[in-house]
């Protein structure tokens, strides 16, 4: 009880602080189907096409984070990958899969850039596009969570309801089984704060090692990387994923628990 109250108070302070510091306005919380959505618009509008909408929920059902963010090379920041139509057409980026074989085909450049039904499936921002995969229908059978996509992705995989592939023929390199590091506790440096158990094992399933080391955490010796909850709210460290794609920071208790095992 005391713990819950403590968390509620801290949460209110941290939240208001960060939300106002950034914009002066509190952002609307995304709806479950919007969580993990990325809009890509470095070139689309310039070519008189609608900006591209990419949904993580759709893709993480079928692929691990590592496949896209390491093997294919998408940046971990919206808009940061310089994706050109010709790249997609040559089998890079979205075109690794969206080539008319693994998934529906992507860009073309030789018909006056008139958007068609195929183009609209990706160049869809602001358009009424009928999706082949409806969020509610597709995720119906998956275990529920309160926040983010409203789906417990961790459990969905543990129960075998989704089986994301960690390998794409011709793109991924065959690697030895990863030697998984021990799970450990992280200290929150505030008295009364429930300890955090960080599971290397569980994270490695999705992320491999390369998504975190060495860019987000140096990872040579525990405690080398110094950070606080405020850094995390700013999208650094754990916040690089928890806040936009993995379950959001709102879900304090999923990290600040007693033992998880
Ligand atoms: C099918 C490929 C694909 C998969 C699988 C995938 N991502 Fe992404 N991710 C992308 C693309 C594309 C972007 C946008 C990159 C850009 O705009 O330059 C992105 C962006 C992101 C961002 C930045 C979001 C933002 O709002 O700035 C984060 C964080 C992220 N991904 C984490 C993850 C995590 C964690 C997983 C696994 C649970 C994952 N991704 C799985 C393709 C993928
Ligand atoms: C690792 C493979 C892979 C990559 C990379 C990938 N996709 Fe997909 N995507 C898929 C698969 C598989 C589906 C399901 C499509 C199917 O079964 O026809 C899908 C579905 C979609 C859909 C859903 C369409 C609908 O009608 O419901 C959209 C939109 C989409 N992808 C956009 C993108 C964009 C934009 C990119 C690049 C930023 C991208 N994808 C990169 C594999 C991929
Ligand atoms: C699988 C998803 C997908 C589909 C389908 C798709 N595109 Fe794209 N396209 C992208 C992405 C991602 C970008 C990069 C967006 C940006 O940065 O604005 C892009 C960018 C473009 C650009 C601007 C980039 C450049 O290099 O000039 C053009 C033009 C383009 N697409 C044409 C088309 C046309 C025409 C179609 C339909 C035949 C189409 N695309 C279908 C994903 C897709
Ligand atoms: C989701 C992110 C994440 C992934 C994925 C991940 N790690 Fe780590 N790793 C961490 C964090 C956080 C620490 C602690 C860093 C700190 O306190 O400075 C850490 C610490 C370490 C350490 C130091 C451990 C110690 O006890 O001193 C090693 C070694 C390590 N990681 C190796 C790996 C390897 C090998 C993999 C893949 C099998 C991996 N990590 C995957 C986040 C991750
Ligand atoms: C590279 C992206 C990434 C980073 C960085 C990351 N996580 Fe995660 N984490 C994930 C993904 C993906 C999942 C799967 C669940 C989901 O997507 O909602 C997950 C799941 C978890 C879970 C649930 C696992 C369980 O035991 O049920 C906890 C707790 C967690 N992360 C804590 C942390 C902490 C603490 C840090 C920082 C030290 C961190 N994560 C950094 C991507 C990341
Ligand atoms: C993705 C995991 C994760 C989530 C979700 C999360 N935290 Fe944390 N939090 C951490 C980690 C890791 C630390 C330890 C940072 C350190 O001190 O090294 C931490 C530290 C803290 C601290 C100690 C002071 C500080 O700034 O380091 C407070 C207070 C805190 N968190 C409050 C919260 C509240 C309130 C929420 C929910 C609104 C929350 N946290 C959600 C991972 C998380």
Q: Which tops the pLDDT comparison, 25 or 236? A: 236
Q: Is the CB of 242 under 6 A from ligand 6?
A: yes
Looking at residue 20, its pLDDT comes to 44
- Note the pLDDT of residue 221: 84
- The full length of the chain comes to 261
pLDDT band at 237; cut points 50, 70, 90: very high
Query: Looking at residues 72-83, what average pLDDT do you find?
Result: 96
| 114 vs 17, residue with greater confidence | 114
Is residue 247 in contact with ligand 1, taking CB distance under 6 Å? no
Spacing, Cα 85 to ligand 6 middle (Å) = 41
Ligand 2 neighbour 103 (Cβ under 6 A): yes
Task: Report pLDDT for 24.
Answer: 45
Share of the chain above pLDDT 90, in %: 59
Among 94, 127, 128, the mutation site with the greatest number of ligand 2 atoms within 8 A of its Cβ is 94
200 lines ligand 4 (CB under 6 A): yes
Residue 144 has a pLDDT of 96
CA 104 to centroid of ligand 2, rounded, Å = 8
What ligand 1 atom has the least distance to the C-alpha of 79?
A: 17
Q: What is the pLDDT of residues 102-142, one digit of tens each?
A: 999 999 987 666 778 889 999 999 999 988 999 999 999 99
Rounded Cα distance, 13 and 117, in Å: 47
Give the number of the atom of ligand 3 that is nearest the alpha carbon of residue 84: 26
- Give the CA angle between residues 256, 144, 196 to the nearest 5°: 10
Average pLDDT over residues 175-184: 77
16 band by pLDDT with thresholds 50, 70 and 90: very low
Give 54: exposed, middle or buried? Use CB within 10 Å, 0-12, 13-18, 19+.
Answer: middle
Q: What is the pLDDT of residue 180?
A: 77
Q: Which residue's CA is the nearest one to ligand 6's atom 15?
A: 228
């Amino acid at each position: 009880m005391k713990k819950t109250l403590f968390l509620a108070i801290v949460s209110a302070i941290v939240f208001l602080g960060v939300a106002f510091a950034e914009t002066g306005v509190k952002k609307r919380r995304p709806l479950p189907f919007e969580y993990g959505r990325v809009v890509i618009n470095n070139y689309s509008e310039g070519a008189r096409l609608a900006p591209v909408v990419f949904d993580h929920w759709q893709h993480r059902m079928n692929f691990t984070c590592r496949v896209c963010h390491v093997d294919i090379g998408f940046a971990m920041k919206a808009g940061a990958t310089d994706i050109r139509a010709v790249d997609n057409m040559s089998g890079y980026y979205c075109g690794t899969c969206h080539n008319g074989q693994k998934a529906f085909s992507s860009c073309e450049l030789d018909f006056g850039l008139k958007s068609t039904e195929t183009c609209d499936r990706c160049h869809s921002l602001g358009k009424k596009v009928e999706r082949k995969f409806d969020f509610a229908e597709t995720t119906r059978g998956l275990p529920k969570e309160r926040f983010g996509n409203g789906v417990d992705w961790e459990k969905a995989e543990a129960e075998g309801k989704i089986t994301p592939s960690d390998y794409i023929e011709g793109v991924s390199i065959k690697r030895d089984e990863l030697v998984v590091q021990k799970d450990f506790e992280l200290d929150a440096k505030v008295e009364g704060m429930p300890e955090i158990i960080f599971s290397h094992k569980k994270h490695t399933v999705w992320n491999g090692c390369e998504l975190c080391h060495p860019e987000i955490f140096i990872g040579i010796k525990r405690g080398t990387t110094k950070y606080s909850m405020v850094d995390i709210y700013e999208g650094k460290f754990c916040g690089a994923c928890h806040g936009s794609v993995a379950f959001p920071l709102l879900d304090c208790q999923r990290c600040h628990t007693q033992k998880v095992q």
